[in-house]
Amino acid sequence: MARRRSRIAVIAVATLAAAGAAGWALTRPDSGVAAAPAPAPLPTVKVTKQDLVETQEVDGTLGYGEQHAVPGQQGTVTWLAPVGSVVSRGQTLYKVDQRPVSLLYGVVPMYRTLQDGVEGADVQQLEENLRKLGYTGFTVDDEYTGATAEAVEEWQEDLGREETGKVQRGDVVFTATAVRVASHGSVVGGPAGGTVLSYTGTTRLVTVPLPVGDQQLAVKGAKVGVELPSGGTTPGTIESVSTVAKAAPQSEGAGQPEANVEDATVDVIVRLDKPAAAGTLDEAPASVHFTAEQRKGVLTVPVTALLALAEGGYGVQVVAEGNSKVVAVKVGLFANGRVEISGAGISAGAMVEVPQT
């Protein structure tokens, strides 16, 4: 059976029903009436060889990532770094009774008093910070010596603190890098106990609660598109994928919510490749476009170029040297208004008709 387009069949039936003998008379050479003009040819486009990517959109929140609380101590809060400010190595996070609490870089939390005779990784990270801040006269290692104590005294003098040569819990806060103050847990003049303030990182991030069933979409280091509240899209990179699933609560009337395993999610953290694109937005909705499927170097045409064949399947109307014919094709991935096609007689650069919409 010859292949033909479904739209051609419809047009043919309509034409036969409307014509009859009157149509024949209008087109007789001796009728004196001009024949109807031939229909204008349809627009054509080239078959293009390209990468085709199908994406899946998931809603998230644009901000600076997870918040971390800074525990307080006895005394009265006399100063707090402003919300939104960035605090880096050696700078003051807050003050208690006018004594500055300094931010230093390190992964070991401040859990004991550091003084002459103490050894450990926390000693070494303190000495590394002192060296970075310009204090010398000691060896950077895991031993707190008299030379270390002298450097600490110099540092304390510059801070306006009592020169004890010791660093006590509550004197410093160790974080991996510079931080951004996210919120205040206390107020100036209030007690310093409890959470004094909370901080985040300084990098613009999107946190996405990705359904566990779609976890395969998120691969650390993979590129994604981030749709901002403004409507624009900016590139991003998957920075981390949580290995712990969170079950979404499901309300059960007046009773306690029950965990819904089917709706469990994992947190995916996406870093913006161009942070300035997000402006000053914080805690704002954003959508992340994950790559669901990808084809590299395939032949594609607009989806609207496909024709449904009477015998089943799809074809395209190929135009060459003023002639056209329907060629059957096998379709693959659909993405962004285009479709992957293949078949005998189909090659990059071939022209196909695309109906006007």
Of the residues 292, 323, 351, the one at which a domain ends: 292
Residue 154 belongs to a domain? yes
Residue 105 belongs to a domain? yes
pLDDT at 354: 92
**Category of 20 on φ-ψ map: left (φ > 0), alpha (ψ -120 to 50) or beta:** left
Which CATH number covers residue 246? 2.40.30.170
Residue 233 belongs to a domain? yes
pLDDT at 345: 83
Total domain count, the chain: 2
Output phi, psi for 140, to 5 deg. -80, 105
Per-residue confidence band for 24, with pLDDT thresholds at 50, 70 and 90: very low
Q: Is the pLDDT of residue 9 over 60?
A: no
Question: Do 115 and 166 belong together in one domain?
Answer: yes
Residue 238 belongs to a domain? yes
The CA R_g of the chain, rounded to the nearest whole Å, is 35
Q: Residue 40 burial by CB count (10 A; 0-12/13-18/19+): exposed, middle or buried?
A: exposed
User: Could you list the residue range(s) of the whole structural domain that residue 152 is in?
Assistant: 68-200
Q: What is the pLDDT of residues 27-48, one digit of tens each?
A: 444 545 555 565 667 889 999 9
Q: What is the pLDDT of residues 262-281, one digit of tens each?
A: 689 999 999 999 998 888 77
Structure tokens at 329: 């094709």
- The more confidently predicted of residues 250 and 198 is 198
Residue 349 belongs to a domain? no
Question: Do 87 and 176 belong together in one domain?
Answer: yes
Question: Do 121 and 239 belong together in one domain?
Answer: no
Question: Do 77 and 156 belong together in one domain?
Answer: yes
Lowest model confidence (mean pLDDT) among 10-14, 65-69, 279-283: 10-14
Of the residues 292, 324, 345, the one at which a domain ends: 292
Residue with tokens 């010596």: 145
Residue 115 belongs to a domain? yes
Alpha helices in the chain (DSSP H): 6-18, 21-27, 121-132, 146-159
Which CATH number covers residue 193? 1.10.101.10
Q: Whole-model pTM?
A: 0.67
Average pLDDT over residues 39-66: 89
Q: Are strands 223-227 and 233-241 parallel, antiparallel or unpaired?
A: antiparallel
Residue 167 belongs to a domain? yes
Question: Do 60 and 209 belong together in one domain?
Answer: yes
Instruction: Of 118-132, 231-245, 257-271, give the range with the top mean pLDDT.
Output: 118-132
Residue 303 belongs to a domain? no
Question: Do 266 and 167 belong together in one domain?
Answer: no
Nearest by Cα to 192 from 79, 83, 105 = 79
Lowest model confidence (mean pLDDT) among 12-26, 174-188, 220-234, 318-332: 12-26
